[in-house]
Structures are given as structure tokens and as C-alpha cells.
Amino acid sequence: MKLTLCLVGLFLSISSFSQEIENIPAPDFVNTIYAVINDKLVALEKKEASTKVKTKAGTFVPYVGLLAAGTKESLFIKDAKSPVRFNTNSIKFIYEPSVMVDPEQSVKIIPFESENRKDQRIVQTGTSSAFRSKSNEIPKVPFTYRKYKEKYIIIEIDNVPSGEYGIVFTSNDYSNLNTNLKYQLFGIN
């Protein structure tokens, strides 16, 4: 009898201790990413990105009879800085996926370049010329992830430099970065 009571007491203390380690509230919406700051959820800025194509000036190539010109394709978001700011370079995020898939395949954290003069954030996605077309290797922020309470995903980023960032749900590659333009945004001071 004493052994049973001791085992029950030990089990209860272990389970209550493990619950105290992380007590993160549940996100309100599916596929909405929240930052976890002091066990409270902070909603990220949500905006749609637009695509922009700049045409480079053409040059006539003598003896060949070609007009060589090119384009530069970018994604941009209005406002140079996100109003959602963090003073740390290590952040924990949580979300409830609509379908439980590997976050490494479905979530991309992308650094944006802030252009204060034009009041926008931008990332270049590709270039082309009369002779070739090239899709840029879009930089991404590495992260770790784990399941939380069987239906949530926790994403953690560490040692991220100050700047502007966007999180987007994608397919297995970057092919839909230009079609899925809904970004969840934040900045690091």
C-alpha cells in the first residue's frame, strides 16, 4: 500500500513538473504563427506581398543583330519595418497546422531587405536576360522545430541578426513563393 502511494505521488510530481516547464497557451487560429514571449502569445504582422518586375535597359549587340535586355523579379511588402519588433535574436514561435506535415518542408522564414527610401521590404526572387533566366537562391533562416501537445508545432530560431523577416507556408520547394503571398512578419532590433 505504501509503495503504491509513493509511486502515485512520484508520478504526480513528475507530471506536474513537466507541465511547469512549458505552459504555452493554445493559438487562436489554424496556420497563424504566434511568437511566444514569457509564455504569452504575440501575433505577428500579416500582409500580402506583391511581385515587382524591373526591366533593365536594352543594348543592341552589333554584328549579331540582337537587342539584349533583362528583368529582375522581386517580392515586396509595403512599409520598410514591421510594427512587431523583438529585442532578442532567439525567438520561439507556435502554430497549429491545418495538416500535420514536416515544417522543414512547409515553413520558410525569409529575411527581407528594408528599403527606407521607398518604405518597403524586398527580396529578389529571379533575374532573366535575352540569353538566360535564373531563379535566385532565396535566403532562408534555419530553425529547429518540435511537436507540442500533439497538435501544435513549436519553431525556434537562434542567433538571427537584426532585420526584417517574413514567415510563409510553402510547398516542398520555393515554387509558390510568388503565388502564395500571405506573409507573417516581424522585425528584430
pLDDT for 158-184, tens place per residue?
999 999 999 998 865 545 455 557 899
The mean pLDDT value for 82-98 works out to 95
Q: Show contacts of 54-58: CB within 8 Å, 24+ apart.
A: 56/129
**112, 105 contact by CB (below 8 A):** no
- Phi-psi sector, 52: left (phi>0), alpha (psi -120 to 50), beta: beta
Model pLDDT, residue 138: 79
The mean pLDDT value for 36-64 works out to 79
Tell me the average pLDDT of the chain. 80
> Which of 57-61, 75-79, 104-108 is predicted with the least confidence, judged by mean pLDDT?
57-61
